């Protein structure tokens, strides 16, 4: 995903505990999603902004403990955002925490979702569309950090992409000619 997207982590995944909620995106892997939240636990990131709050996690044993529920907007180039823009995105995410609460506690059937780590929900994409419509489209449309775990081999600019594409086309052409004649 080269555009901004929302991810969420909750400790309240029914009997399964911590779960990650992602938008419909077949190119997101569990390890990549986990890496975002591990980095978010350490502090601000170069390609995401996150907010969290403490919630009660009810364990299958009947015990309860506090855990962090996090909403994260990834696919940003945070260094290019002003402090005011970063604050505005953080405020939008904070305003979505009650929606995340409702999603986690009322809308997701955790028994039906099963024990998989990633739970795909269209609500995250819907929230992003609603929040970015007009207000933040210009802020959040910066490219992802190419060193992020989501896109480690992405070209840094358009010229690099054209150069890489041209070299790949030449390599495929040469291989085709080689196989044709030999």
The full DSSP string for the chain is --S-EEEEEES--GGG--EEEE-S-TT--HHHHHHHHHHHHHS--SSEEEEEEEEEEEPTTS-EEEEEEEEEEES--GGGS-HHHHHHHHHHHHHHHHHHHHIIIII--HHHH-S-SEEE-HHHHHHHHHHIIIIIHHHHTSPPPTTSTT-TT--SSHHHHHHHHHHHHHHHHHHHHHHHH-
Residue 103 above 60 pLDDT?
yes
Cα 82 from Cα 63, distance rounded (Å): 43
Nearest to 18 by CA among 108, 118, 100: 118
Q: What is the pLDDT of residues 139-154, one digit of tens each?
A: 544 444 444 444 444 5
* Domain boundaries of the chain, sorted by first residue: 5-151, 153-182
pLDDT recorded at residue 53: 93
Residue 4 above 50 pLDDT?
yes
pLDDT recorded at residue 2: 52
pTM of the predicted model over 0.85: no
Contact 121, 22 (CB under 8 A): yes
Contact 107, 123 (CB under 8 A): yes
Q: Are strands 118-120 and 64-74 parallel, antiparallel or unpaired?
A: unpaired
pLDDT recorded at residue 140: 46
Cα 7 from Cα 159, distance rounded (Å): 31
What are 174's strand-pairing partners?
none
Nearest-5° Cα angle at 6, 81 to 122? 145
% of the chain exceeding 90 in pLDDT: 41
Q: Residue range 107-119: average pLDDT?
A: 90
Could you tell me which residue, 8 or 181, shows the higher pLDDT? 8
Nearest to 36 by CA among 67, 16, 7, 4: 7
pLDDT recorded at residue 155: 55
Confidence of residue 13 (pLDDT cuts 50, 70, 90): confident
């Amino acid at each position: 995903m080269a555009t901004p997207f929302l991810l969420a982590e909750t400790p309240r995944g029914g009997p399964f505990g911590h779960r990650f909620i992602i938008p419909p995106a077949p190119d997101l892997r569990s390890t990549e999603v986990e890496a975002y939240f591990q980095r978010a636990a350490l502090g601000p990131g170069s390609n995401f902004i996150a907010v969290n709050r403490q919630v009660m996690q009810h364990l299958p044993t009947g015990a309860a403990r506090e855990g962090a529920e996090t909403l994260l907007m990834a696919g940003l180039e945070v260094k290019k955002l002003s402090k005011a823009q970063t604050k505005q995105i953080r405020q939008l995410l904070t305003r979505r925490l009650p929606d995340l609460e409702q999603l986690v506690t009322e809308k997701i059937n955790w028994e039906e979702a099963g024990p998989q780590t990633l739970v795909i929900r269209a609500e995250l994409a819907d929230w992003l569309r609603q929040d970015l419509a007009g207000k933040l489209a210009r802020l959040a449309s910066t490219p992802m950090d190419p060193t992020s775990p989501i896109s480690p081999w992405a070209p840094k600019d358009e010229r690099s992409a054209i150069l890489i594409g041209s070299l790949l086309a030449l390599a495929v052409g040469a291989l085709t000619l080689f196989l044709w004649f030999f």
